[in-house]
C-alpha cells in the first residue's frame, strides 16, 4: 500500500522524469527470477492440456473442421505445421523456465501462442488471455537476472538489479485479475446465487457442511465469499500487516479451485505469482532460514548513490520514457477492455462480449437442451438437419452469434465440396452422408435452446433467419438475436420449488421449463422411454398440436395458464405460443433410463478421487507424451515425407 501511495504522489506532484526514475529504481531480482521459472514450467504443463498439444490431430488435423478465428484472414496451418508451432512454443517455454536466451524464448513462446489463441474463439478463456499478456510483459523485463542460464553465462546479467517496473506491471496485472473479477461479480446474477450450482456437495466443502447445507454452501461460500475475496484480496496482499493472512486465504482459494474446476494451470499460475505482492527479497530471506548465504544483487551500471544512501538513475533517455508511456498505456487498456462491449456490439449476445478478456469468470452458467441446424436446398426445396457436432470440437460456438455465422459458412463450404466431389470419378474423400444437396444455392437456419443462470429454456436466435444472408458487423447489434426473457427472472424461485416437488415423486421423475416468444412454436418428439409426460402452462397461452402421420391430420388444443394436458408418446407434437405475450410452460415426466444414464456417465474423479494430485500427475505425463509423439511424427513427415500414424500416437 505504501508503494501505491508513492506512485500517486509521483503522479500528483513531481515531474515526468521523477516518475520515470521511480519506475526504474533498482530492485532485487530474486523474486522475479523465481516467478519467471515457475511461469515457464507451468506453461510447459499447459501446452499439452488447454493448448491442445496432446490432441493436435483432433483439434487441428481435419481440414474440414470449422474453426472460429478472430480475424477471417487468419490461415489454419496443416497438421505438420501446427505440430511445429507447438514445438516452437515448447522450446520457448523451456527457455523462459531456464532463463536461457530469455528475450528470444519469450518471443518463441508468445508469437505462436497468440496466433493459436486467435485462431479459434471457441477455446478462449480468461486465463488463456492472461498467459498471453504475462508473456508480453516478460519480453521487455529483466527476469533472467536471477536463477537463469543467461546469468550463469553472462556476468553482466548475473544477479543484477532489475528496474521496479518489472515488478509493478506484473503486480498490477494480477491485482486487476482479482479486482475486476470481483467487480464483475457485483452482477445480481452472481450475488443472488444463480451462477453456480451443486458445488456444495464437493469434498472440498466438507468442513463447511458441518454447519451449512449444500445450498447454503453454494450461496454463502461459493457466491458471496468468492465475491468478497476477489474484490478485496489484492488490497489485503498489498498491505504488509494483512498480507500473511491474505496469502493463506488466497492459496486456499486457488487450491480449492484446482479441485473444483477443470481449468488447467490457472490456479497454479495464480499460486506461483502470489509472491509478487511480497518483498522482492523473499527468496534470499527464505534461503537464509536454511543457513544458505547469498550475495547481494549488483547495482545497475547507470545507477549512482545519493547522499541519503538511495539509488538514483545517472541518466534518463527517451527509451525509458517510452517504456513508462507503454506501461501506463497497458494499464489503461486493461481497465478499458473489460468494459468495451458498448463498442464491439456484434460480439454481444445474452452476455456482453466474447468470453476470454472480460474477467467475468463463471458469472454466467449455461444449460443447452437443443441445437437444431437446418439446411434448405433452395433448388429442390428439400430440407434436412445437420448434427451440430459435425466438424466442430466443442459446443461453445453456438452461444455466440458471430461464431454461428462462421459455422454456417463453414457448413456450406463442406456441403458444397461434398456435392462437387460426388461427380469426380474415383473420389473417395467426399462425404456421402449428405446426398441432399443438388446445388450451391442453400440456406442455413439455426435454432438454439438454452438456459442462462437457471432461467427458462428459450431460443437464442430467430429460427427463420438465413445465416448465409446475415449482415453482421463487430460494431452493430446482432439482427437475429432474441433477447433473454428477463421479465420471468422471478420465476426461478418458483421453478426451484416445483423441481424439488417433482424430484420427490420418484428417483426417475424430472421436469423441463420452457419459455417462447409469441408467433413461434416448439416441435418436440417424446421417446418411448418417457412415461407420464404432461405439459402444464405457467404463463401465457399456447396451442398443443399433435402430428399424426397415420391420420394425415393435426389436432390442436388451446391451453391457458395452469392448464395441463397428457402428451402422447412416440409422436411429434408442436407447442405454438399465441397471444401478445411470451408463454411459459413445463414438461413433467418419468425417464425410465434416467438411473442407467447417470450410472453410465463417467464419475467426476475430481470429486471422489482419493489421490487426485497423483492422478493429475499421471494424466499430465501421458498428455505430454502424446504431444511429443505428435511433434516427432511431424518431424518424421518433414524429413522423410511419410504420414504420421494416428493409432500409434493414441496408443
In whole angstroms, what is the distance from residue 191 CA to residue 399 CA?
Answer: 23
In whole angstroms, what is the distance from residue 399 CA to residue 395 CA?
Answer: 8
Nine-digit cell string for 319: 527509451
Q: Which of 121, 158, 184, 185 is catalytic?
A: 185
In whole angstroms, what is the distance from residue 347 CA to residue 178 CA?
Answer: 24
Nine-digit cell string for 638: 518433414
Alpha-helical regions (H) of 54-184 = 56-60, 79-98, 102-119, 126-139, 149-153, 165-184
In whole angstroms, what is the distance from residue 448 CA to residue 398 CA?
Answer: 7
Q: Where are the beta strands (DSSP E) in 232-382?
A: 303-305, 311-313, 366-377
Q: How many residues can be counted in the chain?
A: 651
In whole angstroms, what is the distance from residue 76 CA to residue 53 CA?
Answer: 15
* Contact residues for 558 (Cβ-Cβ < 8 A; gap 6+): 541, 542, 543, 578
Q: Where are the beta strands (DSSP E) in 134-270?
A: 162-163
- Closest residue by Cα to residue 21 from 279, 315, 330: 315
CB 97 within 8 A of CB 37: yes
In whole angstroms, what is the distance from residue 580 CA to residue 578 CA?
Answer: 7
Nine-digit cell string for 535: 405439459
CB 193 within 8 A of CB 250: no
In whole angstroms, what is the distance from residue 232 CA to residue 175 CA?
Answer: 10
Residue 629 annotated among the catalytic residues of the structure: no
DSSP H/E element including 583: strand 583-591
First to last CA, the chain: 54
List 574's β-bridge partners, or say none: 523, 545
Alpha-helical regions (H) of 311-449 = 318-336, 401-421
In whole angstroms, what is the distance from residue 382 CA to residue 376 CA?
Answer: 6
Q: What are phi and psi of 221, to 5 degrees?
A: -85, -55
Residue found under cell 459458412 = 409
In whole angstroms, what is the distance from residue 139 CA to residue 109 CA?
Answer: 10
- Give, to the nearest 10 degrees, the angle between helix 126-139 and helix 30-46: 140
493 burial (CB, 10 Å; 0-12 / 13-18 / 19+) is exposed
In whole angstroms, what is the distance from residue 458 CA to residue 416 CA?
Answer: 32
Q: Where are the beta strands (DSSP E) in 407-561?
A: 442-452, 458-459, 509-516, 521-525, 530-539, 541-548, 553-559
Active site residues: 185
Amino acid at each position: 500500500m505504501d508503494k501505491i501511495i508513492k506512485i500517486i504522489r509521483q503522479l500528483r506532484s513531481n515531474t515526468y522524469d521523477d516518475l520515470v526514475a521511480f519506475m526504474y529504481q533498482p530492485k532485487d531480482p530474486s523474486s522475479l527470477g523465481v516467478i519467471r521459472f515457475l511461469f515457464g514450467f507451468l506453461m510447459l504443463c499447459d501446452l499439452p492440456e488447454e493448448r491442445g498439444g496432446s490432441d493436435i490431430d483432433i483439434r487441428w488435423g481435419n481440414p474440414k473442421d470449422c474453426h472460429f478465428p478472430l480475424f477471417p484472414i487468419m490461415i489454419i496451418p496443416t497438421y505438420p505445421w501446427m505440430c511445429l508451432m507447438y514445438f516452437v512454443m515448447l522450446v520457448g517455454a523451456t527457455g523462459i523456465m531456464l532463463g536461457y536466451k530469455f528475450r528470444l524464448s519469450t518471443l518463441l513462446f508468445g508469437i505462436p501462442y497468440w496466433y493459436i489463441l486467435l485462431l479459434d474463439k471457441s477455446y478462449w478463456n480468461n486465463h488463456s488471455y492472461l498467459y498471453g499478456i504475462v508473456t508480453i510483459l516478460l519480453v521487455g523485463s529483466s527476469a533472467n537476472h536471477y536463477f537463469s542460464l543467461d546469468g550463469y553465462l553472462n556476468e553482466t546479467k548475473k544477479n543484477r538489479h532489475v528496474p521496479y517496473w518489472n515488478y509493478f506491471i506484473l503486480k498490477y496485472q494480477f491485482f486487476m485479475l482479482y479486482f475486476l473479477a470481483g467487480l464483475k461479480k457485483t452482477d445480481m446474477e452472481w450475488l443472488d446465487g444463480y451462477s453456480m450450482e451443486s458445488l456444495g456437495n464437493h469434498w472440498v466443502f466438507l468442513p463447511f457442511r458441518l454447519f451449512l447445507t449444500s445450498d447454503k454452501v453454494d450461496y454463502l461460500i461459493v457466491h458471496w465469499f468468492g465475491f468478497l475475496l476477489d474484490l478485496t484480496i489484492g488490497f489485503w496482499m498489498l498491505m504488509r500487516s494483512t498480507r500473511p493472512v491474505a496469502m493463506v486465504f488466497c492459496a486456499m482459494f486457488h487450491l480449492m479451485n484446482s479441485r473444483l474446476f477443470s481449468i488447467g494451470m490457472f490456479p497454479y499460475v495464480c499460486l506461483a505469482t502470489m509472491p509478487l505482492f511480497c518483498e522482492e527479497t523473499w527468496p534470499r530471506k527464505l534461503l537464509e532460514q536454511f543457513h544458505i548465504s547469498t550475495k547481494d544483487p549488483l547495482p545497475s551500471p547507470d545507477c549512482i548513490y545519493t547522499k541519503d544512501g538511495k539509488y538514483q538513475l545517472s541518466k534518463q533517455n527517451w527509451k525509458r520514457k517510452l517504456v513508462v508511456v507503454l506501461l501506463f498505456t497497458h494499464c489503461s487498456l486493461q481497465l478499458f477492455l473489460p468494459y468495451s462491449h458498448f463498442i464491439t456490439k456484434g460480439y454481444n449476445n445474452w452476455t456482453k462480449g466474447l468470453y476470454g478478456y472480460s474477467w467475468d469468470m463463471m458469472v454466467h452458467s449455461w444449460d443447452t437442451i437443443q441445437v437444431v441446424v437446418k439446411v434448405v436446398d433452395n433448388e429442390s426445396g428439400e430440407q434436412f438437419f445437420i448434427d451440430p457436432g459435425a466438424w466442430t470440437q466443442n459446443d461453445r460456438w453456438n452461444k455466440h452469434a458471430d461464431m454461428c455465422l462462421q459455422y454456417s459458412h463453414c457448413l456450406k463450404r463442406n456441403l458444397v465440396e461434398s456435392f462437387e466431389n460426388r461427380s469426380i470419378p474415383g473420389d473417395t474423400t467426399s462425404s456421402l452422408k449428405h446426398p441432399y444437396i443438388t446445388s450451391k444455392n442453400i440456406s442455413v437456419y439455426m435454432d438454439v435452446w438454452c438456459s442462462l443462470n437457471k432461467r427458462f429454456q428459450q431460443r437464442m436466435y430467430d429460427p427463420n433467419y438465413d445465416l448465409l444472408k446475415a449482415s453482421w458487423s463487430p460494431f452493430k447489434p446482432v439482427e437475429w438475436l432474441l433477447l433473454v426473457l428477463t421479465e420471468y427472472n422471478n420465476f426461478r424461485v418458483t421453478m426451484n420449488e416445483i423441481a424439488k416437488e417433482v424430484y420427490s415423486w420418484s428417483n426417475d421423475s424430472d421436469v423441463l421449463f420452457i419459455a417462447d416468444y409469441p408467433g413461434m412454436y416448439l416441435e418436440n418428439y417424446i421417446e418411448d422411454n418417457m412415461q407420464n409426460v404432461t405439459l402444464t402452462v405457467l404463463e401465457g397461452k399456447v396451442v398443443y398440436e399433435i402430428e399424426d402421420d397415420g391420420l394425415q391430420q393435426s389436432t390442436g388444443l388451446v391451453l391457458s395458464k395452469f392448464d395441463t394436458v397428457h402428451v402422447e408418446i412416440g409422436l411429434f407434437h408442436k407447442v405454438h405460443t399465441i397471444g401478445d405475450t411470451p408463454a411459459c410452460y413445463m414438461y413433467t415426466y418419468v425417464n425410465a433410463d434416467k438411473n442407467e444414464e447417470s450410472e453410465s456417465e463417467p464419475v467426476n474423479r475430481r470429486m471422489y478421487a482419493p489421490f487426485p494430485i497423483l492422478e493429475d500427475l499421471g494424466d499430465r505425463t501421458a498428455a505430454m507424451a502424446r504431444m511429443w509423439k505428435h511433434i516427432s511424427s511431424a518431424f518424421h513427415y518433414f524429413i522423410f515425407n511419410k504420414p504420421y500414424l494416428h493409432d500409434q500416437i493414441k496408443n
